[in-house]
Structure 1
């Protein structure tokens, strides 16, 4: 399975930080969350929204598992900046 690449600013322009980091339990440091597919299937972390109704579900593997094979999972877009237009 290819690694997950998380598009941080795709989500951030739609939701405030607290939605994921306070309400869904994501830690505020990149790489600090150990998320398993069972967590997502059980409706935790990403699975709170990626349930097939609010957003696509786990059946669309390639939408999240989009990294190059052999590389570690990562975050794409602004996780080390203040965000678009704030530099």
Structure 2
């Protein structure tokens, strides 16, 4: 039994939940890193979707790089906040 068709939508749904929590953190808690983590996981969701519909590898890697940079910026702000 192939797990990818079952796990991919579950993963995408969880990524969107984390995105919503990031937006909540940014808006309610007034933490910029919340928005960066929201952007990161939204981009991860887009990456998964683009992969499923067969978008080219170059586009996938650009989306992944932007997501990683957003996460890096968010982590920097978390560490700076402490």
Bigger share in strand? 1
Q: Same fold (TM over 0.5)?
A: no
TM-score band (shorter)? under 0.3
Higher relative contact order (CA 8 A, sep 6+): 1
TM-score, scaled relative to structure 2? 0.28
Which structure is larger by alpha-carbon Rg, 1 or 2?
A: 2
TM-score, scaled relative to structure 1? 0.27
